[in-house]
Amino acid sequence: MAEVVLFHHALGLTRGVIAFAGDLRAAGHVVHTPDLVAGRTFDTLEQGVQHAQETGFGEIIQRGARAVDGLAADLVYVGFSLGVLPAQYLAQTRAGARGAIFLHACLPRSEFGSAWPKGLRAEIHAMDADPFFVGDGDIEAAKALVAESADVRLFLYPGDAHLFSDRSLAAFDPAAAAVLERRVLDFLADR
């Protein structure tokens, strides 16, 4: 059993993110789902990203950091897209991380430190033609992390949807999401 902190994407704590957390709980894991946008949800990715920009990405990261205050150190950090910001920050900077899973996004390792933590296992999941993941440079950041550490794996799925693992969104891809969730559960089983 792992203790997981799962950070939502820019649309907020959607039914799909809550359902994903529920699946992890059903597998026996303890899952925390902090709300980074004070209960708001957004209809479009553009609205959610605009809100995050207005709030400030640094503030989003700090909200994530405050959400783990008082929790044990040996956590697995999971982030959906925007949620990768606090997940990756905490995985790289908070001592004791047991693992990290970055869904639909990845930042350059240098954003949060000079090296990937030795022995920290991580997975990155995205579609190979996702215009955000590929077009915004996340794929290069992911490949660089994989090249730097044998403990980091990148899984690319065929398609161009960004939030394909959120079952409450039109971008949901049931087949790819099922494979992603199986891999996440396998990863957590070893944590």
pLDDT tens readout for residues 159-171: 999 999 999 999 9
How big is the chain by its Cα radius of gyration, in Å? 15
Residue 176 has pLDDT above 80, yes or no: yes
**Structure tokens of 12?**
């907020």
What is the value of pTM for the model shown?
0.97
pLDDT bucket at 191, cuts 50 / 70 / 90: confident
Average pLDDT for 82-88: 98
Residues 11, 37 contacting (CB under 8 angstroms)? no
Give the domains, in start order, of the chain with CATH numbers: 3-189 (3.40.50.1820)
pLDDT tens readout for residues 119-154: 999 999 999 999 999 999 999 999 999 999 999 999
pLDDT tens readout for residues 2-52: 999 999 999 999 999 999 999 999 999 999 999 999 999 999 999 999 999
Looking at residue 85, its pLDDT comes to: 98
DSSP for 133-144 reads: HHHTTHHHHHHH
DSSP annotation of 82 reads: G
Phi, psi of 56 (to 5 degrees): 105, 130
Average pLDDT for 72-84: 98
**Side-chain-side CA neighbours of residue 40 (13 Å):** 16
Phi, psi of 171 (to 5 degrees): -75, -5
* Sign of torsion over alpha carbons 36, 129, 152, 22: positive
Which residues in 71-104 are b (16+ Cβ under 10 Å) and which e? eeeebbbbbbbbbbbbbbbbbbeeeebbbbbbbb
Cβ within 8 Å of residue 182, ≥6 positions away: none
Looking at residue 115, its pLDDT comes to: 86
